[in-house]
Amino acid sequence: MQIHRLAVVDPNAKLGKDVQIGPFCVVEDGVVIGDGTILEPRVTIKKGSIVGKNNHLFEGATIGGLPQCVGLSEEECGGVIVGDGNVIRENVTIHRSMHPEGTTIVGDDCMLMVNAHVAHDCNVANSVILANNAMLAGHVVVGRRAFVSGGAGAHQFVRIGAFAMVGGHAHLVRDVPPFFTVDGLSSQVVGLNLVGLRRGGFSSADVKTLKAIYRIVYKSDLNWREIVDKIEKEYTEGVGLEMAKFLASTTRGITFERAALPTLAEAREAAREAAERPKGAKDAEPEIFQLRVVDENGASLLPPPSKRRIV
């Protein structure tokens, strides 16, 4: 165990074997740090925090800060549990639960990049990546191997499913289903996270199942209850069952699918036709055309029918 002479470590903190604590670190009363964990300079681990084995915390990270809730005292707060093998980069903040018996949880083998924030009562599963400045509000749940890109923010109580991919600067106000991708610009779903599925070792049959579920969710004319019932009935194992459980348990609804916009060529053609109309025809019915976007199997990726008007 190595503790720098300029670090402040409370005598009641419990430190495992081969723990390294750099200069200007603060480890408060009752903190537990597992074997092999490294604290770079200026890391603060506050009361009520448990940090597991073989974690690497970089400069300025703060674990166990009080929830950002008005009028909440320290005595009313719970704790933080950080699992094993995590990389927590500079200035990351992970806050305690706002309930005395509650816990904010970060699992194993996660990477939290610079300035990422995990608020009170969040539950972050194993192998999650939060990129720079990603922000999770209170009570957010993130499934295993999800990726939240830089600057993205999740509203309180939102769930991000396993293997989901959230684009940069997205703002999430509804649940993101497992295995789906959210576009950062529109903050809406744009298809499956095929890269994540391939890296995760999912079979072609799994991908086929997820594509079929995607079409049921976003392309069918069914209402929500009918969608959930159909998926629960038809998919009773594997990724299908995981999707069925997630969709059936949503309380905020799921993120909408992004509507396709006209291509540049289509927009130019519509503008040219509008310019060629005779004078006085401004009030005529505007041009209507249909877009069709298909996946590699020829299946439509737009809700039928998808008609756009250029005005």
pTM for the predicted model, two decimal places: 0.83
**Is the omega angle on the peptide bond into residue 305 within 30 degrees of 0, that is, cis?**
yes
Judge whether 40 and 21 are in contact, CB under 8 Å: no
User: Quick one: pLDDT at residue 297?
Assistant: 52
Backbone angles phi, psi at 288, to 5 degrees: -120, 135
User: Quick one: pLDDT at residue 288?
Assistant: 47
Out of 84, 121, 175, 183, the active site residue is: 121
Q: Tokens for 59?
A: 């400069």
Out of 138, 143, 196, 240, the active site residue is: 138
Instruction: Please choose, from the candidates 91, 59, 178, 90, the residue with its C-alpha nearest in 3D space to the C-alpha of residue 128.
Output: 178
User: Quick one: pLDDT at residue 296?
Assistant: 53
Judge whether 130 and 148 are in contact, CB under 8 Å: yes
User: Quick one: pLDDT at residue 30?
Assistant: 95
User: Quick one: pLDDT at residue 282?
Assistant: 53
User: Quick one: pLDDT at residue 142?
Assistant: 98
Domain covering 2-189 assigned CATH 3.40.1190.20 in the classification: no
User: Quick one: pLDDT at residue 307?
Assistant: 42
Instruction: Judge whether 138 counts as a catalytic residue.
Output: yes
Q: Tokens for 131?
A: 């990129």
User: Quick one: pLDDT at residue 183?
Assistant: 96
Quote the Cα angle for 166-202-195, to 5°.
35
What is the widest separation between alpha-carbon atoms in the chain? 86
CA-based R_g, the chain, Å:
24
Backbone angles phi, psi at 229, to 5 degrees: -60, -40
Q: Give every strand in the sheet of 8-9, ordered side by side.
A: 8-9, 26-27, 44-45, 62-65, 93-95, 117-118, 135-136, 153-154, 171-172
Each residue's pLDDT, cut to its tens digit, for the chain (311 residues) gives 899 999 999 999 999 999 999 999 999 999 999 999 999 999 999 999 999 999 999 999 999 999 999 888 888 999 999 999 999 999 999 999 999 999 999 999 999 999 999 999 999 999 999 999 999 999 999 999 999 999 999 999 999 999 999 999 999 999 999 999 999 999 999 999 999 999 999 999 999 999 999 999 999 989 999 999 999 999 999 999 999 999 999 999 999 999 766 667 777 787 888 788 776 655 555 544 444 444 555 554 444 444 443 33
User: Quick one: pLDDT at residue 308?
Assistant: 40
User: Can you tell me the distance from the alpha carbon of 106 to that of 307, in angstroms, rounded to the nearest whole number?
Assistant: 45
Out of 48, 64, 108, 120, the active site residue is: 120
* E-assigned strand segments in 125-166: 129-130, 135-136, 141-142, 147-148, 153-154, 159-160, 165-166
Instruction: Judge whether 120 counts as a catalytic residue.
Output: yes
Neighbours of 251 (CB within 10 A): 8
Instruction: Judge whether 121 counts as a catalytic residue.
Output: yes
